[in-house]
Structure 1
Amino acid sequence: MTTVAPVLAATAATAASAAPVDKRVGPLLRAWRERRRVSQLELALRADSSARHISFIETGRSRPSEEMVLRLAEHLDVPVRERNALLLAAGYAPHYPETPLDDPALDALRAGMERLIQGYEPYPALVVDATYTVVAANRGIMMLLDGVPESLLTPPLNAMRLTLHPEGLAPRIRNLREWRGHLLAQMERQIALYRSEPLRALYEEVAAYPMPEPGPGATPADEPAEPVPYFALPMQIEHEGRTLSFISSISTFNTPMDVTVAELAIETFLPADPATVKYLHSLAT
């Protein structure tokens, strides 16, 4: 495995969430319930409570216990970082730790991620945090970064900047208009869920990048793309005179009990056609 960015300690400044103006636990829980489009009655049934009690909590007439806050957060699928925010708003201590990624306690996690993305070679794979800072990447990713200016490869690397910057991978992505739209929509969904100011700032930055001049064979930005003959939208990228096609898949950890772990994502790129498979394996040999 090739590590392309130093392992950074997860800090509140990196992925802190901006809570709504009203930071009381009741309005916060109501906002999450409405975001999930769940009625008070449905939430009460899920949490083994009553609609009346849920209403009292949301209006501030009743203070929920620590156990109730965690139970409601679980049934509303609230992100781990935001569960801590709910507990603080209710007057309780955070329940989930936020361990720096380079802490010895996470040695097994780091080793497991290294084995995973190394074992995925020759196909590209990388690990990013909540704001797309690259924690680690394998040789498949390094192959795609050939030719990217050193100015964009100065740590900490950011996957969105590397992909969408007009001097990064963007000029080599044949279906840039579609792939860019996919990435921006992905970030918009995350912003709506996490209310993260650092993520919003990143979104505004990369969304403002000018579209580079299309490379050979690329679809011009003002022309409709041809129908994609794949089972999912691929990233079609030029590399040494070849067009490589990849389908992206993102994995996260199940039932994380640590904020840092909860915000890690492993992105793998599966070859979308036989020609890409053959070329990558030829590099490996």
Structure 2
Amino acid sequence: MERFASELRRWRSNRRVSQLELANRAGTTQRHLSFMERGRSRPGRAIVVRLAESLELSLRERNGLLLAAGYAPLFPESGLDDAMLRPVRQALESILDGHLPYPAVVVRPYGELVAANAAFDVLTEGAAAELLEPPINVLRLALHPKGMGPRVVNLADWGRHITESLRADFLRSRDPRLDAFIAELESYVPEAVPGSDHLGFAVPLRLRTGDAELRLLTTLTSFATAVDVTLAELKLEAFLPADAATAAFLQSRHHLG
């Protein structure tokens, strides 16, 4: 029970929740929760599930807490090629194709590329071959000096947008691998020098391509009601034109292709 007790204490500390607050959320007593955190009480499967939900853990993290308590995982983790996820893959392919002529990608946690539409090549233009070897990491590609980095006009602000988002994920999970990845990405990002019109990183991506400068907004879509670990971790990132010139360029480029 020591492993479960340690994990429960860690997650409660990460979430900055008191014993009393967590006990109230999970429908138990502070005394019972204290006993579980000290390894003096063996938790039932139902209370482990309620604690995981109350701590707002991901499906993968909920499975991990169940394993720590000695129970089998509750949520399946299908392979992307499994028959069970075939309808999802087909739906994602339709969404990606339907977003043309604008770029769109499907990624796993921390930027690992799963799928992309044909307009993705506007982002990979001029990138070094090693950055395009599977598995491609789109966040590394976005900031790397051999990737999109030299073409991103507002690299300091855009890079901060990416690293601050990942830093929020790290504060939630405390995954040391993510911490190391953030440090790598931060090494590619120049220090921002705010001017009188500085807007922070709440600005479109400004990307050079040939003689043009594209201005792109991004949207993220996740499968919030998924009960499969693999599906729950996927995100669809779609790029949208932030001005008429960008829209016209991408439309013309698509028709010419």
Q: Same fold (TM over 0.5)?
A: yes
Q: Report the more deviating stretch, 117-126 or 256-265.
A: 256-265
Q: Does structure 1 retain, via aligned residues, the 8 Å contact 2:100–2:118?
A: yes
1:271 is matched with: 241
Q: Could you tell me which amino acid in structure 2 is paired with residue 66 of structure 1?
A: R
Structure-2 residue corresponding to 1:235: 205
TM-score (normalised: structure 2): 0.89
RMSD: 2.4
1:131 partner SS: helix
Contact 1:134–1:158 (CA<8 Å) still a contact in 2?
yes
Q: 2: distance between equivalents of 1:201 and 1:229?
A: 28
Match status 1:254 vs 2:224: yes
User: How far does residue 275 in structure 1 lie from its aligned partner after superposition?
Assistant: 1.8
Alpha-carbon distance between aligned partners in 2 of 1:160 and 1:107, rounded to the nearest angstrom: 26
Shift of 1:253: 0.8
Report how many aligned residue pairs link the two structures: 255
The 5 Å alignment of 1:32-111 reads 32-111=11-90
User: C-alpha offsets along residues 90-131 of structure 1, whole Å, 9 cap, x if unaligned?
Assistant: 111111222111112211111111111211111111011113
Superposed displacement of residue 164, structure 1: 1.2
Q: Could you say which residue in structure 2 is the equivalent of 1:216?
A: none
> Structure 1 residues 279 and 23 mapped into 2: Cα distance closer, same or farther (>3 Å)?
farther
Cα pair 1:70 1:83 within 8 Å, conserved: yes
Once the two structures are superposed, the pairs formed by residues 1-285 of structure 1 within 5 Å of their partners are: 24-209=3-188, 223-225=193-195, 227=197, 232-285=202-255
Task: Read off the aligned partner of 1:188 and give its amino acid letter.
Answer: R
Give the deviation of 1:23 after TM superposition: 6.2
For residues 192 and 235 of structure 2, the distance between their equivalents in structure 1, rounded to whole angstroms, comes to: 33
Deviates most, 196-205 or 114-123: 196-205
Q: Give yes or no for contact 1:166–1:210 (8 Å, CA) kept in 2.
A: no
Structure 1 residue 201, shift from structure 2 partner = 3.7
Shift of 1:43: 2.1
* Unpaired stretches in structure 1, ≥5 consecutive residues: 1-21, 212-220
Bigger helix share: 2
Q: Counterparts of 1:225 and 1:172 in 2: how far apart (Å)?
A: 21
How many angstroms does 1:200 deviate by?
Answer: 3.4
1:227 deviation in Å? 2.8
* TM-score, normalised by the number of residues in structure 1: 0.81
How far apart, in 2, do the equivalents of 1:274 and 1:230 lie? 23
2: CA distance, partners of 1:23 / 1:116: 46
The alpha-carbon deviation at position 209 of structure 1 amounts to 3.6
Q: Whole-Å Cα distance in 2 between the matches of residues 199 and 104 of structure 1?
A: 31
CA contact (8 A) 1:128 1:265 kept: yes
Q: Give the C-alpha shift of residue 68 in structure 1.
A: 0.8
Greater shift in the superposed pair: 172-181 or 250-259: 250-259
- The superposition leaves residues 64-102 of structure 1 with CA deviations (integer Å, 9 ceiling, x where unpaired) of 111111111111111111111111111111112221111
* Structure 2 gap ranges (5+): none
Residue identity matched to 2:213: T
Q: Secondary structure of 1:126's match? A: strand
Same amino acid, percent of matched pairs: 44
